[in-house]
């Protein structure tokens, strides 16, 4: 009996030694394995605060430039001459470029006040009022082959803001009557051939419906000052009464003034809503669900690259034979628009405490790749022509191959960036030729 007990004890002791040896071996294996670094949590509140400040600052810049444009237009109407027209055209280009840098923010979901829906004052409503494109120029003013076309020459329609709003997109989205692009056509005309003579105050060639009293009073004051226009233009006005040329100068002047004032008003409304202190949209980014807002903003940047840049710009330029759907054909600013759009997206990513900073905390090499890809794409964009309408479709397609490929590469990196931040995006779209 004692021998059995002694044998059992030895067996138990041997078994325990085996277990202990195995435990030590497992412990050694765990010590040999590399330590997995804990993933840094995205500082969503800080990121959204930085993004809000950038959006507000950029919209404020666009608003200031629109106010400068309004001042230049006032000068043009007081002293219509080639110099004042050119200054107004330059001011339009600068104001629009400022707006384009944040034009894609409508893609970021948000809540709207019920009264915004009731009064047609949602973000999308204001955007359509500011930046509806492409447009039909003959809906606004004369064309070389149609000297009496457009709202300017429709004598049954009183020139007033309410009527212009009613006419906006009346039967087709291309029939825009308010915003940046009707204003663009009034300042530049077809083929950028607008003449300052079109804004010289003179009687219309036929009886017209009266404009609003305040517009009439302002018109009389400006017309009085405009008697001091350059002598060469003044001589043309008196020596060559318009018969077959452009008509209804005073209506054109009233239309231009109303559009400019309304543009300032709409940009002011958007800027106020992004005011970091009290803006309605800014307050939403301070709500508890910061992670969802961060994801929505990042998705909006990706959508802007895919839809705004690739589809609405590159694809139109590369595939349309006659270019019907350009964004700014009259000012010949589509290349500048694409550059401004890309700059706006990059600025949001690279802003202090922005997305690139957060991506760098997760993957510094990826953050550097994204920054470098923006630089490569911007370099290619600077080489693009401005005179797209003079190029054949095959030429345009060839010119855009490199920028398009680099944009697709940037999109791939952007998806990798989202993955590093734990943001789930929609499936990466495939390229369309």
Average pLDDT over all residues of the chain: 84
Residue-wise pLDDT tens digits, 298-343: 999 999 999 999 999 999 999 998 898 999 999 999 999 999 999 9
In this prediction, residue 17 carries a pLDDT of 39
Q: Percent of the chain having pLDDT more than 70? A: 80
In this prediction, residue 203 carries a pLDDT of 72
Angle at 91 between CA 137 and CA 228, to 5 degrees: 90
Asked whether residue 183 carries a pLDDT value surpassing 70, the answer given is yes
In this prediction, residue 32 carries a pLDDT of 47
Question: What residue has token string 């077809």?
Answer: 190
In this prediction, residue 221 carries a pLDDT of 53
Residue-wise pLDDT tens digits, 370-428: 999 999 999 999 999 998 989 999 999 999 999 999 999 999 999 999 999 999 998 75
Residue burial 63-83, b: 16+ Cβ < 10 Å; e: rest: bbbbbbbbebbbbbbbbbbee
For 1, the token pair is 């009996």
**CB of 343 within 8 A of CB of 375?**
no
Angle at 143 between CA 141 and CA 145, to 5 degrees: 145
In this prediction, residue 242 carries a pLDDT of 41
Q: Is 341 helix (H, G, I), strand (E, B) or coil?
A: helix
Average pLDDT over residues 74-80: 97
In this prediction, residue 225 carries a pLDDT of 55
> What is the rounded distance in angstroms from the CA atom of residue 237 to the CA atom of residue 322?
36
Say if residue 59 is preceded by a cis peptide, omega within 30 of 0: no
- Cα radius of gyration (the chain): 31
| More confident: 90 or 22 | 90
CA-nearest of 343, 329, 311 to 103 is 343
- The whole-model pTM stands at 0.82
Asked whether residue 63 carries a pLDDT value surpassing 90, the answer given is yes
């Amino acid at each position: 009996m004692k021998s059995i007990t002694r044998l059992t004890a030895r067996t138990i002791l041997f078994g325990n030694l085996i277990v202990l040896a195995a435990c030590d071996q497992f412990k050694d294996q765990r010590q040999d394995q590399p330590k997995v670094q804990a993933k840094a949590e995205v500082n969503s509140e800080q990121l959204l605060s930085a993004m809000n400040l950038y959006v507000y600052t950029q919209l404020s810049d666009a608003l200031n430039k629109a106010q400068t444009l309004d001042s230049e237009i006032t000068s043009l109407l007081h002293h219509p001459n080639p110099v004042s027209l050119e200054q107004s055209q330059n001011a339009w280009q600068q104001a629009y470029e400022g707006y384009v840098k944040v034009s894609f923010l409508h893609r970021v979901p948000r809540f709207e006040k019920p009264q915004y829906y009731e009064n047609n004052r949602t973000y999308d409503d204001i955007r359509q009022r500011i930046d509806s494109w492409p447009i039909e120029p003959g809906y606004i003013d004369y064309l070389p082959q149609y000297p009496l076309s457009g709202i300017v020459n429709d004598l049954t329609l009183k020139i007033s803001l309410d009527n212009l709003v009613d006419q906006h997109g009346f039967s087709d989205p291309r029939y825009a009557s308010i915003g940046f692009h009707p204003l663009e056509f009034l300042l530049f005309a077809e083929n950028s051939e607008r003449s300052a003579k079109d804004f010289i105050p003179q009687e219309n060639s036929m009886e017209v419906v009266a404009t609003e009293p305040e517009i009439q009073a302002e018109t009389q004051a400006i017309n009085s000052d405009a008697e001091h226009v350059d002598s060469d233009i003044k001589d043309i006005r008196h020596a060559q009464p318009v018969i077959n040329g452009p008509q209804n100068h005073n209506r054109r002047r009233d239309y231009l003034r109303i559009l400019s004032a309304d543009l300032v008003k709409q940009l002011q409304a958007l800027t106020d809503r992004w005011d970091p202190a009290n803006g309605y949209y800014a307050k939403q980014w301070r709500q508890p669900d910061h992670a969802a807002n961060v994801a929505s903003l990042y998705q909006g940047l990706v959508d802007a690259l895919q839809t705004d840049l690739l589809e609405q710009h590159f694809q139109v330029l590369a595939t349309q034979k006659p270019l019907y759907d350009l964004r700014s054909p009259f000012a010949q600013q589509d290349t500048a628009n694409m550059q401004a759009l890309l700059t706006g997206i990059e600025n949001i990513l690279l802003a202090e405490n922005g997305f690139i900073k957060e991506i760098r905390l997760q993957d510094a090499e990826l953050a550097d790749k994204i920054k470098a890809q923006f630089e490569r794409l911007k370099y290619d964009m600077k080489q693009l022509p401005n005179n797209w309408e003079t190029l054949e479709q095959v030429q345009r397609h060839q010119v855009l191959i490199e920028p398009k490929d680099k944009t697709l590469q940037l999109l791939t990196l952007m998806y990798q960036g989202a993955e590093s931040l734990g943001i789930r995006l929609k499936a990466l779209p495939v390229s369309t030729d």
